[in-house]
């Protein structure tokens, strides 16, 4: 493998904004996206705050220019992927060997849940077109067809590290000369299945979440989509890319189905591997976008791994999930957009609602939004169920 992989642009939609500009404004104004669910119908609506995209499916379909029978997951994907491509200044997609590598964990489950309500009441009811795109790969295929991407289409589903792994896979395709450009990231919508599952795990906070705070009691679920456009040296010649994807690594501590190892073994190996690929030392990292879900286990294990790798000097760091909620398969893509653009503009993102430093670690997250910071490298962490841990390093 040889050559650079550049970030030519990015797009995002989530609970704090319909595009990247709106999200940046929400960060700067300290306006997290958590609230009472409006579009997901659940008996838990009064109990658990979520960070929903502030639009119903009819509105999203109109914005995406796609049929309303598409799943919410696919509509979010289309909106963010199109914004990502439009932000690059590149020529038409048809001029490149192009790929879409997209992550998700729920597929078209939002539509399936609606179908099952009608079907269980009367087994002659329910529209089959609402279940035909249930599986995760169908979401990717719908968006790839709409964008005209034909050279390579893949779906990644590795829990919360899914979208980060999509970037890694896309980067390998470019570095091996198989593609010129790849739209890489992830998408996920809120579903009752997801909400009920996390409730069963007893890791949902009934208040707005507090990642990396000693008083944390769980996460808030969110939804959205985030994609970057990865390009080769040749494709990057006529544009001004945001930055490079200089390093990445995936590790698995195989400790537990849903928990990280207490020592953060997989977290440490992923961060160390990404640094090694980029040829950097820990002191070179100017900011870390933490995985930072707000659960007791996650923040402790990630924090201990950061201490092991970065001590005694720690870069500014924060969890943007304190604004967006945990968007599951989309999180690594959304946070890659934030990290890569943040490097371009020297942005440190705030960690909302932080009040009390964790006892386990000797550092605290950043609590204020700032621009113009002089750093050359940033890291983004995505650590998933089953110990599937991924880290990305972006460099100027």
Domain ranges for the chain, please list them.
6-395
Q: In angstroms, how far is CA 185 from the centroid of its own chain?
A: 7
With CA atoms as reference, report the closest residue to 328 among 202, 219, 212: 219
Element (H, E) at 334: helix 331-345
List, for residues 141-200, the tens digit of each pLDDT value.
Answer: 999 999 999 999 999 999 999 999 999 999 999 999 999 999 999 999 999 999 999 999
> CATH: 3.20.20.150, 3.90.950.20, 3.40.47.10, 3.30.420.240. Which one for 6-395?
3.40.47.10
List, for residues 11-25, the tens digit of each pLDDT value.
Answer: 999 999 999 999 999
What do you get for the CA distance between the two ends of the chain, in Å? 20
List, for residues 117-150, the tens digit of each pLDDT value.
Answer: 877 888 887 777 788 888 999 999 999 999 999 9
With CA atoms as reference, report the closest residue to 164 among 101, 212, 220, 77: 101
pLDDT of 54 reads 97
Question: pTM value?
Answer: 0.96
pLDDT of 129 reads 78
> Residue ranges of the chain with pLDDT lower than 50?
none
pLDDT of 2 reads 65
- Whether the CB-CB separation of 5 and 393 falls below 8 Å is answered with no
Local structure of 255: helix, strand or coil: coil
As annotated, the active-site residues are 160, 291, 326
Beta-ladder partners of 229: 9, 183
Element (H, E) at 19: none
Residues listed for the chain: 396
């Amino acid at each position: 493998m040889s050559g650079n992989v550049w970030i030519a642009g990015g797009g995002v939609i989530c609970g704090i904004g319909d595009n990247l500009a709106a999200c940046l404004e929400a960060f700067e104004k300290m306006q997290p996206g958590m609230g009472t669910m409006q579009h997901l119908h659940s008996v838990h609506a009064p109990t658990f705050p979520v960070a929903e995209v502030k639009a119903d499916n009819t509105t999203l379909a109109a914005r995406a220019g796609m049929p309303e029978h598409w799943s919410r997951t696919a509509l979010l994907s289309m909106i963010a992927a199109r914004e990502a491509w439009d932000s690059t200044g590149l020529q038409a997609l048809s001029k490149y060997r192009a790929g879409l590598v997209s992550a998700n964990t729920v597929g078209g489950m939002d539509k399936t849940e609606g179908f099952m309500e009608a079907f269980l009441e009367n087994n002659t009811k329910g529209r089959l077109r609402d279940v035909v795109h249930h599986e995760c790969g169908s979401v990717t295929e719908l968006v790839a067809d709409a964008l005209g991407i034909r050279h390579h289409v893949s779906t990644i589903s590795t829990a919360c590290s899914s979208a980060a792994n999509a970037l890694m896979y896309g980067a390998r395709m470019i570095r091996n000369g198989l593609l010129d450009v790849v739209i890489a990231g992830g998408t996920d919508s809120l579903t009752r299945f997801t909400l009920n599952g996390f409730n069963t795990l007893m890791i949902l906070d009934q208040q707005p979440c507090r990642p990396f705070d000693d008083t944390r009691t769980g996460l808030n679920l969110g939804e959205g989509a985030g994609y970057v456009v990865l390009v080769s040296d040749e494709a990057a010649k006529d544009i001004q890319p945001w930055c490079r994807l200089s390093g990445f690594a995936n590790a698995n501590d195989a400790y537990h189905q849903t928990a990280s190892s207490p020592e953060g073994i997989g977290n440490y190996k992923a961060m160390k591997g990404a640094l090694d690929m980029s040829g950097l030392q820990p002191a070179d990292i100017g900011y870390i976008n933490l995985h930072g879900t707000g659960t007791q286990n996650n923040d402790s294990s990630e924090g201990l791994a950061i201490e092991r790798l970065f001590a005694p000097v720690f870069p500014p760091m924060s969890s943007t999930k304190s604004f967006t909620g945990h968007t599951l398969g989309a999180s690594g893509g959304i946070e890659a957009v934030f990290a890569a653009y943040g490097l371009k503009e020297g942005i440190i993102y705030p960690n909302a609602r932080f009040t009390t430093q964790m006892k386990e670690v000797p550092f605290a997250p950043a609590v204020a939004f700032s621009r113009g910071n002089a750093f050359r490298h940033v890291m983004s962490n995505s650590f998933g169920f089953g110990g599937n841990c991924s880290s990305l390093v972006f460099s100027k």
